[in-house]
């Protein structure tokens, strides 16, 4: 996720859903995670103010139950805060009036006028974050979309949702050890599925 900021007006506290913590939590998550500029994902155009995700991924990243996620999304659609375009694999959520929360010009001006000490501090923070991500001893669980994309790349027919639910429930443990390489775990699952398929394959008897 890019380093940046969003605008929240004080009158946000007058929002009709403000007293429902899950609604505020989910809406803020969408605001800070949707694209701040047009982009592409697997050939799909994702516009500024949009995010491609799913209920399971939203639940995993926010800690809100899938059922509550479903309810909150419907309420946000009802009051025209968002629109949702769903497929059988993912949803594209659009934050309506996104420019009210984040403006291109203001972001550019903010980046250009930041003072040097603040810039140096940010660069140091970014470098440390990058080093942490590159540290092989630190495991970062993949998103549902990461797994879907990898399975599609390998053409392995692995059910990405079932896979991620399985390891989420296990706390990302493999046996007694913490998972280190999720792609290797996908390949192991893939191999297991192939072996099981062979075992269950019906025999053809020659008469």
CA–CA gap between residue 164 and residue 141 (Å, rounded): 9
H-run or E-run covering 167:
helix 160-169
Q: Which CATH number is associated with domain 10-100?
A: 1.10.10.10
Q: How far is CA 44 from CA 16, 62, 74, 83, 170, in A?
A: 33, 25, 24, 17, 33
- In this prediction, residues 130-142 reach a mean pLDDT of 65
Q: How confident is the model over 13-67, as pLDDT tens digits?
A: 888 889 999 999 999 999 888 887 787 777 778 888 888 888 899 999 999 999 9
**Taking each helix axis from N to C terminus, what angle separates 160-169 and 144-154, rounded to the nearest 10 degrees?**
130
Confidence of residue 84 (pLDDT cuts 50, 70, 90): very high
> Domains of the chain: which residue ranges?
10-100, 144-196
Kindly state the greatest CA–CA separation across the chain: 85
pLDDT given at position 21: 92
Q: What does the pLDDT read at residue 117?
A: 52
């Amino acid at each position: 996720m890019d380093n940046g900021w969003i605008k929240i007006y004080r009158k946000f506290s007058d929002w009709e859903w403000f007293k429902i913590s899950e609604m505020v939590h989910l809406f803020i998550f969408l605001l800070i995670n949707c694209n701040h500029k047009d982009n592409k994902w697997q050939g799909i155009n994702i516009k500024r103010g949009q995010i491609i995700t799913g209920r399971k991924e939203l639940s995993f990243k926010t800690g809100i139950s899938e059922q509550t996620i479903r309810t909150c999304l419907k309420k946000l659609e009802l009051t025209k805060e968002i629109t949702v375009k769903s497929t059988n694999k993912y949803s594209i959520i659009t934050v309506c009036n996104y420019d009210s929360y984040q403006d291109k010009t203001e972001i550019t001006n903010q980046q250009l006028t930041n003072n040097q000490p603040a810039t140096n501090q940010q660069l140091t923070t970014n470098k440390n974050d990058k080093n942490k991500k590159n540290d092989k001893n630190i495991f970062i669980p993949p998103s549902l979309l990461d797994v879907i994309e990898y399975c599609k790349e390998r053409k392995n027919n692995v059910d990405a949702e079932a896979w991620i639910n399985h390891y989420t429930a296990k706390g990302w443990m493999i046996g007694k050890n913490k998972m280190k390489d999720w792609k290797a775990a996908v390949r192991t699952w893939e191999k297991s599925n192939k072996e099981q398929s062979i075992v269950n394959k019906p025999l053809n008897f020659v008469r």
